[in-house]
Amino acid sequence: MTIRKTARWQRSIDDRILEHLQDDSVSTAKQMAIRDNIHATEAQVQDRCRVLADADLVAFLTEDQDFVELTTEGEQYLEGEIDVELYPYPRHPKAME
């Protein structure tokens, strides 16, 4: 079992989003919101994706932020290879608009 080095700003939904992207290389907030293990609305998933993107754990593939993918840093986090607490604190999703 891999021990992940989480940050204080992270929420449990963040790991579920990252795990989903590890399984499905590209996804949308809508697709993730209907997954049984995510338990969040599309808007909540979109907000968390913005935070994860600001932390460089995911990347948006389109300008309108519809499609998202896992980054190398996101993959390394899931493998327990990096400590995201050492990364700059991501901005709140509302501050990014």
Per-residue confidence (pLDDT) for residue 41, from 0 to 100 = 96
Q: What is the pLDDT of residues 13-49, one digit of tens each?
A: 999 999 999 999 899 999 999 988 898 999 999 999 9
pLDDT of residue 11: 93
Residues in Cβ contact with 35 at an 8 Å cutoff, skipping those fewer than 6 apart: 16, 20
What is the pTM for the complete model shown? 0.89
Longest dimension (CA), the chain: 37
Q: Is the pLDDT of residue 95 over 60?
A: no
Dump pLDDT digits (tens) for 45-81: 999 999 999 999 999 999 999 999 999 999 999 999 9
Could you write out the three-class secondary structure of 23-80? HCCEEEHHHHHCCCCCCCCHHHHHHHHHHHHHCCCEEECCCCCCEEEECHHHHHHHCC
